[in-house]
Each structure stands twice: as C-alpha cells, then as structure tokens.
Structure 1
Amino acid sequence: MSAAYATFGLAPAMRAGGVRADGGYQLHRDFVDFVVDGHPLLYQLSDLDAVSPLASDVPPAIFTAQVRSLLLESEAPLPDGRYVVYGCPECEDLACGAVTAVIERDGDDYIWRDFAWQTAEHADLELNGYHGIGPFRFHGPGYREALGALLADSGPPPGRRVLLIGARVALLARLAAALRAIGIGADITRDAEGVPAEELRGYGAVAFGPAVGDTERTAVRQAFERTGVAVAYVDGLAPIVPLLVAQIEHALDRSPLPQRRLARLVAADGAAGVEVITPCRVRVTAYRLDRFSRPRTHELFDGVLEPGSHRIPLDGRTARGGSFVVARTAGSVLVQATAR
C-alpha cells in the first residue's frame, strides 16, 4: 500500500432537483461532499448520481451518527469493514446501489480503500470494484478536524427554503408545489414587511415575479440586509414552472466554483455553448412561450460530454431568441436566455 498521503476535506454540494419533461420530479438534496487532493471524490467515480451520507435533510442524531461512523467510533454498517461513501439520492436502499469502501486505522492515519459499487450485503471487488481509485491515506489530525467541525456545528447545514414574491398567485402556487415536491421549502408573500429576522434567516433564495416593481424589490433586499443574511435573488425569466425551478436550483448552488461539473453556459449565434470540468452526462433543454403564451419544451441534447467546451446547435425557433436554455448534470444546473 502506498505510503503517500492524500489531503482530506469537505465541501457543500447538491444533487439538483427538477421537473422532468414527463411531469415527474427529481429530488433536490443538499449534502457535504468529500474532497480528496482538492477534488470532489464523487467526480472520480464516473458520472454517478449519488449523495454522501452527510445530507442536510437527515435528522441531527442520524447525521451525528454518520460523522462518528466515519471517525470509526462505531462498528462498520456493512460486512468486511465497509462503509457507504455515496448512496442513492432518492432513497436509502442498498439495493439501488451504493459506493462503499473499507475505512480503517493505521496508527494515527485513516485509510480509505477497496472502493466498489455494491447492491447486496457483500461487495464483489473483482466484478464491481473501482480499480485505480485509492487507496487514500489521510493524516489523522486533519481528518478528525474536518469531520469534527461538522459535530461542532451541531449537525447538518440547514435545508434550503425559498421565498416567492409576486402577484400571480396561481403561478406561484404551482411553483411552490413543484419546489416542495423535489424537497425545497417554499413560501409565498407579496413582500417581506414585518417578517421576523429569524424567519428571514431560514431562506437561501428569493424569487421575484415579473410584476414585482423596483420599489418592492428594494424593500425586500433591505429587509434581508438588515438581518445580515446573504441570499440569492432570482428574477423569473418566464412563467414556465420547470424553467423557474431550474433558475432557483442554480441560485441555491453553494458549492465552490472549481468543484462544479458545469462551468459555463452561453446561448447565442444559433448554438448553446457548454463547458464541463469532468466527464459527465449533460442534458440541454430549451423552453419558450408560443404565440398563445403556452410553454413549449424541446430537448436539445442528452449525452456524456468530455472535459472542455462543446457547441450544441439550437433548433430554429430557439435560435431566434426569446427562449431559455437549461443545462443540467446530476449536481448542477445553469440557465441562460437566448440572445435575440
């Protein structure tokens, strides 16, 4: 086993939720990801749609138990000293598949080794092992400090809530229902006047409807500034619920920029320009309103892209402008209006 040390860290991450073209939903999950040698470990495991056990929507007692398990303060949950490193974002069933690894102590060091895709009680390393990943040896003090900080913070980071402000109650109600269906809390109001500061601190984003005037927007911003809370502000591009959900997902992404798979999205000159950092599946979707103000959706691309910049042709109506393009991976979403 290599004696070289790897660095261990943690960083906020999310599994982006959304409204599918068939009307189904994909859950939003906030979690803490493992960062090995400066890069998210998840990205080394091919294009995997998964979350770590350190998710924000688990009860604090379970979150604490997961942290202490990674510190080897309790018995391994699986045979042969194996621990779940990433699991299904929709449920906790091992049958859906999970990335597991042996975690052990060697003196004061912690070692993660024998990564595998596991769907049953025992892992088959020969058939389902992640060959070439690990083993990773971490200095004990740094490892314990990183995980111990989560315990010092008294549990997982708070889940995301969004404040929806506008006059079109029916649209906001549909948007709030869609957000709640994917696991994002949503409340509707005409303004933030009189809302207690402790309530405002619970929001990660504010979404303005197109009918909200500058005076109202300024008042809302000032209310949040007085609480000392930094929130993301979203200006609704169009009254299309899946598009608005994507905008809010984009705004809620708190993961560090160098650790995102999607680096850039532009929509101009008849094409969508997408830049990705690691190999991953990317879906590019166009949204527009037709002349009767009915929402139209067109799937432009769905496939695996290698690192670098890629040009994806827009269909004729999208290319004329006034449309909106959404690029999505399992972990991030970008939204861009097309230039007229």
Structure 2
Amino acid sequence: MSAEYATFGLAPAIRAGGLLAGGDYQVHRDFVDFIVDGHPLLFSLSDLDAVSPLASDVPPAIFTDRVRSLLLETEAPLPAGRYIVYGCPECADLACGAVTAVIERDGEDFVWRDFAWQTDEHADLELNGYHGIGPFRFRGAEYRTALTALLDGDGDGARGTRRRVLLIGARVSLLAKLAAALRTIGVGADIAQDADGVPADELRTYDAVVFGRSAGAGERDAVRRAFAAAGADVPCVDGLAPAVPLLVAQTEHALDRSPPERRRLTDLRPVGDGAEVEVEVTSSCRVRLTAYRVDRFSRTHTRDLFDAVLEPGRHRVPLAPKAVRGEAFVVARAAGTVLVAAVGR
C-alpha cells in the first residue's frame, strides 16, 4: 500500500459543555485527541461535534481495552476491520453517528484508511466516505509508544479524573445554581466564601476558581495566595454577571488549557462601538453566537445571534442592537471551544 509517512501523536482535548438556549445542555468531556502531522485529526472533519474513544471518564478497564484495540491487539469492533475514531459526545451510541476507519498493519507500520461516517455496522464508502482524508501511514514505533504511554499512566493527563472547580462568593443562591448547572454537564463544583484552612492537597484537586461578583478584591487576592502557596497553578475566573449560562461558559473557557493552535476558536472581541464582534477560527467549523443581557432588575435575557459555518480566518459579525443594550455579553461556541466577551453599549 502506498502512502507517505505521517506523524502520530496524542494530546488532551475537551468538548466544552454548557447551558444552551431553550433549556438544553451539552456535557463536558475530556478526551485524548489524535494528532496527525502536528494537527488534531478532528479539525479535518469540519464542524463535527465528537470525541475520540479515549475519554477520561470511561472506566479504566474499558479505556485499556480501547487502547489495546487501536494497537490491534484485539478484534476490530466493527465489520471489515473498522474502528471508531470519533463518536457522539453525549452517549457514544453508533446510531448517533461516528467517524470510522480501517486500521491495519503493513509490516511494522500502522495504516489508517477509508474514513467514513457510519450509523450502523456497515459503512457505505461511496455515499458517506471522507474521500479527502487519509490514508495515513504511521511508523510502528512512534504509534505504539504514544498509545502504550496511556497504559503506563504517562499520557499527559489522558486518564484524568473528573474536572472540579471552586466557587467563591457570598451570594450562595447564585453559586448554588451555578454549581448545580456545572454538575449537570459533568463538572464537579464546591462552594466556599474563602480558602482559609483548606489543606493544600485539597486545593490542588481543583482545576479552576470562579469568583462571584460579591467577592471583594481582598478576598480574591487571599484565595489566589492560598492556591499559590499550595503550588496549584489554576485559572481564576472573575464572574462577569449573575447569569448562570454565562458563568458556565466562562468556566468552560478556563478549563480549556490547550494551546491556541489546537483550538477552533481563538479570539472573540467587540469591534468599534460594539455594533459588531470579530471572531477568529483556525479551521472550518460551525460557530454559534449567543447574547446575554442583564437588565436593571438583574434579569437575564438571552438571544441567539448567529449560527453558521465559518472558514479559517477572522470574521466580523453584526450584533442586534436590542440584544446588547446596557450590560451585555456574547458567548461564541464551536465544537470543543467556547469564548466570552463583554459587548454592552
């Protein structure tokens, strides 16, 4: 089989969860993505919202079985030597659709070929094949080293535990709603007024800190010092407004520690007098913009502004004036990435 060599690697990735308009939500998933020739393979699949089979929240025995399957130490899970490369982030059911590929050995090499979208046991390459992707030939030593590192526990956080954040503030009712929302999407959350007396070992279990607007500057500095003294380098989020979906989006952005080149969305900012926002994307993907406006009675008003596939580059999107009047914010979402910007005029 002829195919030029491609490099193979693995890197931690997330599928950002969140509260969506209409009361729907999507779960947070941590997983290991496949890095082919230095770029996430998932980004080659346009706006696909999916995760690899190597998710950190699956039981250890299943995780191990999936790694050994990719090493071809077990039988292929689908006919014709096909393996699931990316699946539904909500349920992992093949009926929801999955990207599959034939994975096989060719001498010492491993080859991934015939990528397809599949919703049952058999793939129709002519109708649902990804004809512009692959085949990829990986050097056996490089391929095996990357995957076996996951089994040895050296996979750069690949088999990490559930994400956990600490919520700081005096408005317990708002923080309780935020904690409930985060738990709903799969992120653990604890509430406290400060970090005094919290053991260093416990502080190191948190992945982010979220400050409610009721937390004063002195309280925030004290919390930051406590985490620094514990040797915990975690992002601290200053809550923008008492709007739970917005705070969830801010938290998800903080939990994404991937480098910019491995994100679909890399920038969101207001332009001029706030009549537009500028969005930057690194690969072709679906982008959704939602406005959150807080009125003088602290009521939150939500409005969907934009939903379309954008090509790589910077794009300007006009904002509906009524949607961003006063104290307002825009949340931008693409598969796996979320950004927040203040845009009120």
**TM-score category of the 2 structures, normalised to the smaller one:** over 0.9
Q: C-alpha offsets along residues 226-276 of structure 1, whole Å, 9 cap, x if unaligned?
A: 222211110000000000000001100122210111121001321011111
1:252 aligns with 2:255: yes
1:326 aligns with 2:325: no
- Give the CA RMSD over aligned residues: 1.4
How far did residue 122 of structure 1 move? 1.4
1:205 aligns with 2:238: no
Moved more, 314-323 or 46-55: 314-323
Contact 1:268–1:339 (CA under 8 A) maintained in structure 2: no
Where structure 2 has 5 or more consecutive residues not aligned to the other structure, the ranges are: none
The verdict on how the C-alpha distance between 1:12 and 1:321 changes in structure 2, with shifts beyond 3 A counting, is farther
Structure 1 runs of 4+ with >3 Å offset: 317-321
2:280 counterpart letter in structure 1: E
1:123 aligns with 2:128: no
Contact 2:50–2:87 (CA under 8 A) maintained in structure 1: yes
1:17: which partner in 2? 17
The separation in 2 between residues aligned to 1:49 and 1:287, in whole angstroms, is: 24
Alignment partner of 1:187 out of 166, 190, 211: 190
1:229: which partner in 2? 232
Q: Secondary structure at the match of 2:22?
A: coil
2:58: which partner in 1? 58
Q: Secondary structure at the match of 1:193?
A: coil
The separation in 1 between residues aligned to 2:206 and 2:2, in whole angstroms, is: 45
Among all aligned residue pairs of Structure 1 and Structure 2, give the percentage whose two residues are the same amino acid: 71
Contact 1:28–1:182 (CA under 8 A) maintained in structure 2: yes
1:280: which partner in 2? 285
1:309: which partner in 2? 314
2:67: which partner in 1? 67
Q: Secondary structure at the match of 1:112?
A: strand
The separation in 2 between residues aligned to 1:74 and 1:193, in whole angstroms, is: 51
1:94 counterpart letter in structure 2: L
How far did residue 19 of structure 1 move? 0.6
Q: Secondary structure at the match of 2:21?
A: coil
Contact 1:267–1:339 (CA under 8 A) maintained in structure 2: no
Alignment partner of 2:172 out of 166, 169, 172: 169
The separation in 1 between residues aligned to 2:296 and 2:195, in whole angstroms, is: 35
1:215: which partner in 2? 218
1:35 counterpart letter in structure 2: I
The verdict on how the C-alpha distance between 1:198 and 1:59 changes in structure 2, with shifts beyond 3 A counting, is farther
Moved more, 23-32 or 321-330: 321-330
The separation in 2 between residues aligned to 1:265 and 1:24, in whole angstroms, is: 24
How far did residue 125 of structure 1 move? 1.2
How far did residue 92 of structure 1 move? 2.1
Within-5 A mapping of 1:141-152: 141-152=141-152
Q: C-alpha offsets along residues 213-232 of structure 1, whole Å, 9 cap, x if unaligned?
A: 22221221122112222111
The verdict on how the C-alpha distance between 1:115 and 1:71 changes in structure 2, with shifts beyond 3 A counting, is same
What number of residue pairs does the alignment pair up? 340
Where structure 1 has 5 or more consecutive residues not aligned to the other structure, the ranges are: none
